[in-house]
Amino acid sequence: MTDRNKAGSSKAPLVLRDGLSRRDFLKLTGGLTAAAAVGSAPAAAQAGVQTRARIVVLGGGAAGLTVAARLRDLLDGARITVVEPSETHHYQPGWTLVAAGTYSVSDVTARNEHYIPRGVDWKKDYVAAVDPESQVVETAGGDRLDYDFLVVATGIHLDYEAIEGLERADIGQNGLTSIYAGPEQARHAYEQTQRLGEQGGVARFTIPNTPIKCAGAPIKATLIAEDLLRTAGHRDRVDFHYHVREGALFSVERFDGMVRDIYGERGVGIESGSVLQGVEPELRRATFVDGDGNRETVDYDYLHVVPPMRAHDWVREAGLAVEDGSLAEGGWLAVDDQTLQHARYPNVFGAGDVVDTAIGKTASTVRAHGSVTPDNLVSVLQDREPQQRFDGYTSCPLITEVGKASLVEFDYTLEEVPTFGFIDQGQPSWMWWRLKVHMIKPLYYNMLRGRYLR
């Protein structure tokens, strides 16, 4: 086992360009944090366009609230309605930090009422159906909402039940964990990691054969758990396995190599072509299937489940889903991958995880969508062609241990597009951990108000 001081020590030299010191960087990040805390002006664009258009935004998560806030700032006289059943807003980028023992559950939950933009109607209900021909949304409670423009921002359906023998309610019991299931379940992951260290056994981490939100999260979950056990002095009691579908561990080549190296140094076995097919919770047995359909059943003491993910059923039922290609099975919203305008209905736009873009199911992507989608909607409202373009920007603070991370930023080309060009963002460092823990959260909540949009 590699000693902590040799594998990513906090005392490792920092690679800086242009002579930036640690003190200068702290001043820079401190300034950004302070700015985020007090907010900023909305991103520059048109403002005050007069209209009586009826705009319905489906979803009151990060994407829906951000788009609604931006539209409220751009338009004067529009009737904007957000359809969202939950009164609780979840800061999902913080769930990995709950699993690390760094955040509490209360740190990642807020009241949606604090972020519904002033002047925007809030329909507290589920979407039941959409008729894009008649331009009507039906809610589960039986209401009908007519619209002139529709924004679909309903996020992802976590399909735990697609795994044989598993129900979402099983998470948090019998060694089953999943940081995707919610903040309480992320807390359970932290607690079960402690228990695993005390008792010893086999830990398995999975990733499905579908697109997923925050594709780096399964890696973070693995490295956080491994680091917690090393810190507690229990690492030698646990055998780690990372079960991955065919292909790369991470979509950006340099970081794929970095993760493989870290796994090798820390004794995490990579089980390639191994997708979770079924679970027997009471027996703590899991069945995996390879690309040829061969099944293997193995024991576990700790199983981190990343469920298959897809769009909600009504997207396909409404005729709004992509119909061809590799993403058709998931029923994702069919949009132009740059303008985010629907492929068949010009008065429908998408934002957030529900869209069928090849990459970009992260909160950082929402920040980009938060300007592209509303600005292009306003252009179409004015009988103009959409002008804003989404380039696929995605950001992932890739936690390598508690207290250190790398900062991965890339676009549709899968090439790195670093924000901080004066520093090697790929080197695990305390700085990116600081950014993850202290800076991103205030920026996120200001994003919900239509600020700090890319």
Look up residue 413 and give its two tokens. 């080309």
16-39 per-residue burial string, b: 16 or more CB within 10 A, e: under 16: eeeeeeeeebeeebeebbeebeee
Q: Can you spell out the DSSP letters for 111-137?
A: EGGGTSPTT-EEE-S-EEEEETTTTEE
Q: Where are the alpha helices (DSSP H) in 268-353?
A: 313-317
- Which tokens belong to 352? 């957030």
Q: Is 277 helix (H, G, I), strand (E, B) or coil?
A: strand
Q: Has 69 been annotated as catalytic?
A: no
- Degrees, nearest 5: CA angle 279-222-299: 30
Q: How far apart are CA 22 and CA 16, in angstroms?
A: 9
Gap between the Cα atoms of 385 and 375, Å rounded: 11
Q: Phi and psi (nearest 5°) for 390?
A: -90, 125
Distance, CA of 120 to CA of 118 (rounded, Å):
6
Active-site pick, 75, 203, 214, 440: 214
11, 71, 296 from 207: Cα distances, Å: 33, 36, 16
Q: Which two tokens stand for residue 415?
A: 């090439």
Residue 346 neighbours by CB under 8 Å, 6+ apart: 380
Verify whether residue 396 is a known catalytic residue.
yes
* Dihedral sign of CA atoms 440, 444, 445, 450 in order: positive
Beta-strand ranges (E) seen in 208-258 are 238-244
Catalytic residue among 7, 82, 348, 396: 396
What tokens appear for 156 in the block? 């992802």
Other C-beta atoms closer than 10 Å to the C-beta of 264 total 12
- Helices (H), ranges, 150-214: 183-199
User: Cα dist. 433→206, 241, 329, 362, 401 in Å?
Assistant: 24, 25, 36, 17, 9
- Classify strands 54-58 and 79-83 as parallel, antiparallel or unpaired: parallel
Active site positions, annotated: 214, 396
